[in-house]
Chains A and B, each alone.
Chain A
């Protein structure tokens, strides 16, 4: 995974609350076999409106999305994170996120930033005309107008994002421990250790 240190650029002032994963990517997009291309289905229903923010010349391709409470609720589909990435969004700022969504976002290198509603309101205002910068190292969101909002993030997640470590990579680094377990298991429960050949 690419390290995430800073996400800076225009932020889509979306602001909507309780955006569920069906809004982010409708169910009929789930039959894909690749992560790419889901951006076309992202916010599909909203983008029927020709004046939608996502396709406006000003916000198209923006790396940041500003949303309301409980972003990413509903079904656990990981496609929601893939769809955002494919749309070019690598950070979402909201007052709260569904647990499953923030887990899926993290696994895919999307930064989820939790800020109080007052800060969100201010960022929504700035975003209309100016860029926003999220700095992960210092855990701050800043604007060209001296706004500076601090946010909390799980230290483990921060470490992984800053260094571009994905969970699979981290566990692969524990390969010896896994091998030890396999050797032990081959002795104690050989019928479990034994597999089915291809």
Chain B
């Protein structure tokens, strides 16, 4: 693309500003550039006051933050950079009756959290996407979908999977309630810069291998804490080849290998996705934005503190067997023996996981029966995820031993789109429930729970003990694999169902 002379001049100005800030022409990573562009003040000990461009607020981690503001008589500095969306404990059943009246939420505490958000947002001048709005959904689905989340922006939310927005090339990370309050009041955070890690996935992904399998594989390679202290940039031809939605899936789970955030450099795929979104820049501003986004790419010769290279050919449809996202095996594999780990503490952890999961070493994953299937969460609830699941399910029926299978779209807009494409019919005809958008069984704060002792093939991001309900046993998989499990009643290599 040819930049117009005006934009060229503007870019040159920006470049000059950066250079003056960075005297030497040190090549910088994508992360370094976003960081540098957001430093309000740098302290002697290296701590920086970092400006936050976008703040997503949901009903669970915000009430006490608003309460403190109110108690101290403080305002929200930039309500216009803040967007409130309830998602975590909304029921995924109908929210309005035939007459358009709200159906009361059964759990009084959930109802109270929702009511608090509905009170706080207008009181502090924040835009609220309400529980019955078609734009409502999981914050991490709504942000990109609305063009609220943008490349090169700093984005925070009181939820650990905020790294999701890194798929757009935004520096996005989860924060706690005190930090939510800090951002509301000051639009900044006091932070120390993390180290740079590159995770490069080179080569072509095989048939049936999705973005989720890529990130599960990375979780297996890095371990649950391999990214601690780093911000990870995912690079390489396999990452570049992913759709924007797939990139969100990968970046979403950066926290599952301990990283503060994940990043994927914005490119044509990103721009095509964002163009025309409600809050995305328009007209001349769009051209300027695109030019700036391009300039964020890691400079040739920039140094990462750590580089991990993965061959895409090594990645197959994957599934977790344990209670940490690092417990990943190929679907063609077997449950590992605790003795197979060298680290004694991992051996112990593996034994505990196996006991909790009710699995025995050597058992083939493909023989493991599931009673529940959950297709949803901010990892995998966008339209492509639902299409992938529907493609497997089409013309098939839910297996009899699968007691409960639900599809929870990531937002009302995803839901509407899926319905326009007839995907809802495919699920419903197969005996799978079609729900309202929200977090749902990802963390089971609402009534969607997996019963104790039962298994769930789940497209979410955490297989922690009790995450999907007390005693629930979670196997993390891609949407296509979850769909395969729904129709066979077992963890299944989806390639067996889809190969002609």
Contacts and interface: CB of A to CB of B under 8 A. Distances in A.
Contact of A198 (B122, B150, B152, B279): B122
A31 B446 CA distance: 11
A34 to B, nearest CB: 6
B152 A192 contact: yes
Interface string B238-267: 000000000000000000000000000000
A163 B455 CA distance: 53
A192 B150 contact: yes
Contacts of B178: 78, 104, 107-108, 167
A168 B110 contact: no
A196 B176 contact: no
B110 A189 contact: no
Given A167-B182, A177-B41, A198-B126, A35 B67 contact: yes
Contacts of B181: 168
B127 interface: yes
Contact of A174 (B14, B40, B150): B40
A32 B126 CA distance: 21
A34 B63 contact: yes
Residue of A167, A169, A172, A196 ringed by the most chain B CB atoms within 10 A: A196
A104 B152 CA distance: 29
Residue of B64, B74, B81 ringed by the most chain A CB atoms within 10 A: B64
Nearest to B445: A31
Contacts of B210: none
B213 to A, nearest CB: 28
Interface in A156-198: 167-169, 171-172, 174-175, 177-178, 180-182, 185, 188-192, 194-198
Nearest to A156: B45
Given A195-B78, A196-B148, A168 B64 contact: no
Interface string B153-180: 1000000000000000000000011100
A14 to B, nearest CB: 25
Contact of A195 (B81, B112, B280): B81
A196 B63 contact: no
Interface in B180-198: 181-182, 185-188, 190
A104 B177 CA distance: 10
A194 B113 CA distance: 29
A124 to B, nearest CB: 30
A78 B152 CA distance: 30
A33 interface: yes
A150 interface: no
A174 B47 CA distance: 14
Given A34-B64, A198-B126, A178 B177 contact: no
A76 interface: yes
A82 interface: yes
A138 to B, nearest CB: 25
Contacts of A78: 64, 176-178
B125 interface: yes
Interface in A73-132: 76, 78, 82, 104, 107-108
Interface string B104-145: 000101101100100001100111100000000000000000
Q: How large is the interface on A (under 10, 10 to 19, 20 to 34, 35 or more residues)?
A: 35 or more
A58 to B, nearest CB: 32
B195 to A, nearest CB: 17
A189 B80 CA distance: 16
B51 interface: yes
Nearest to A175: B186
B79 interface: yes
Given A78-B177, A174-B41, A32 B109 contact: yes
B35 interface: no
Interface residues of B, number: 58
Contacts of A172: 74, 185-186
B313 interface: no
Interface string B72-113: 101001111111000001000000000000000001011011
A198 B78 CA distance: 11
A32 B281 CA distance: 38
Q: Is the interface of A mostly helix, strand, loop or mixed?
A: helix
Nearest to B45: A156
Given A78-B178, A191-B281, A34 B152 contact: no
B127 A196 contact: yes
Interface in B276-290: 279-281, 285-286, 288-289
A194 B67 CA distance: 27
Interface string A123-149: 000000000000000000000000000
A182 B83 CA distance: 19
B40 A177 contact: yes
Contacts of B307: none
Contacts of A171: 49, 182, 185-186, 188, 190
A165 B41 CA distance: 19
Contacts of B17: 188
Interface in A24-79: 30-35, 76, 78
Nearest to A190: B285
B271 interface: no
A108 B148 CA distance: 32
Contacts of B63: 32-34
B292 interface: yes
A80 to B, nearest CB: 11
B53 interface: yes
Contact of B67 (A33, A175, A178, A182): A33
B41 A33 contact: no
B360 to A, nearest CB: 29
A191 B182 CA distance: 23
Contact of A31 (B14, B82, B109): B109
B116 A168 contact: no
B127 A181 contact: no
B496 to A, nearest CB: 39
The 3 closest A-B pairs by CB, nearest first: A195-B80, A191-B281, A33-B63
30 contacts: A30-B60, A31-B107, A31-B112, A31-B113, A33-B67, A78-B64, A78-B176, A104-B176, A168-B72, A168-B74, A171-B182, A171-B185, A171-B188, A172-B74, A174-B40, A178-B77, A178-B186, A185-B51, A188-B14, A189-B37, A191-B280, A191-B285, A191-B288, A194-B281, A195-B78, A195-B79, A195-B81, A196-B127, A196-B148, A198-B126
